[in-house]
Copies of this chain bind each other. A is one copy, B any other.
């Protein structure tokens, strides 16, 4: 849609579930899986699926570790993910403000 009135929209970020995930991670250094579950309101299955997609895009880093003996999954935005969210936010704000 290069001729479109719309700015380039990053479909990886635009999907509401992933927008919730990325916005949440953008506000923190890192978060564990449970924190993201609560913040986004997604189901475990949905959250896992969308995190995988974000990892494939290079936007999210998934670290599987332990807190004591309990498995812990830590999520953080990569620099590329932060830049992509910044660009998405800037583009959408410009678009919505000019309407």
Q: Identify the A interface with B (CB < 8 A).
A: 1-6, 9, 11, 14, 16-17, 19-20, 23-24, 26-27, 38-42, 89, 92-93, 95-97, 99
Interface on chain A toward B: helix, strand, loop, or mixed SS? Answer: helix
Do A40 and B89 touch across chains, with their CB atoms under 8 A apart? no
C-alpha spacing A92/B97, complex, angstroms = 10
**Number of identical protomers:** 2
CB distance from A1 to the nearest CB of B (A): 4
C-alpha spacing A93/B96, complex, angstroms = 7
Q: A11-B16, A89-B99 are in contact. List 18 more A-B contacts (CB 8 A).
A: A1-B16, A1-B17, A1-B20, A1-B42, A3-B38, A3-B41, A4-B20, A4-B40, A5-B23, A5-B39, A5-B40, A6-B16, A6-B19, A6-B20, A6-B23, A6-B40, A27-B99, A89-B96
